[in-house]
Amino acid sequence: MEARAQARYVRVTPMKARRVIDLIRGMNASDAQAVLAFAPQAASEPIGKVLASAIANATNNHAMDARSLVVSAAYVDEGPTMKRIRPRAQGRAYRIRKRSSHITVVVSDQKEG
């Protein structure tokens, strides 16, 4: 049995969020929460919230034991990009891309695999 949680349109770049997601993929869910709590990256906060939501979904919706949960899948997809203009010297303008992410975390029982 598996439970999933998703956060969409999170204002963190997908490349930076993937660095944090790679830390927790395959870990025990409680260990992953501890790693995210002390990770210095800014993306660790929204990823920690998605992981907590996936654990809550597993315990409340599927009556799974929170101690036996494993992060079976975790990935970051690219969301829409907001385009902004930054004025530069001599009348030029540079385009600033403010990227967003869709974060998905799937937790499952250890006894499955």
List, for residues 17-48, the tens digit of each pLDDT value: 999 999 999 999 999 999 999 999 999 999 99
Token reading at 2: 């598996």
pLDDT surpassing 60 at residue 101? yes
Q: In what order do the strands lie in the sheet with 2-10?
A: 2-10, 101-109, 69-78
Return the pLDDT at 112.
Answer: 52
Dist. CA 71–CA 51, nearest whole Å: 8
2-112 is classed in which CATH architecture?
Alpha-Beta Complex (3.90)
Side chain identity, residue 68 = S
CB 109 within 8 A of CB 1: yes
User: What does the mean pLDDT of the chain come to?
Assistant: 95
- The C-alpha angle 107, 111, 113, rounded to 5 degrees, equals 75
Tens of pLDDT along 49-59? 999 999 999 99
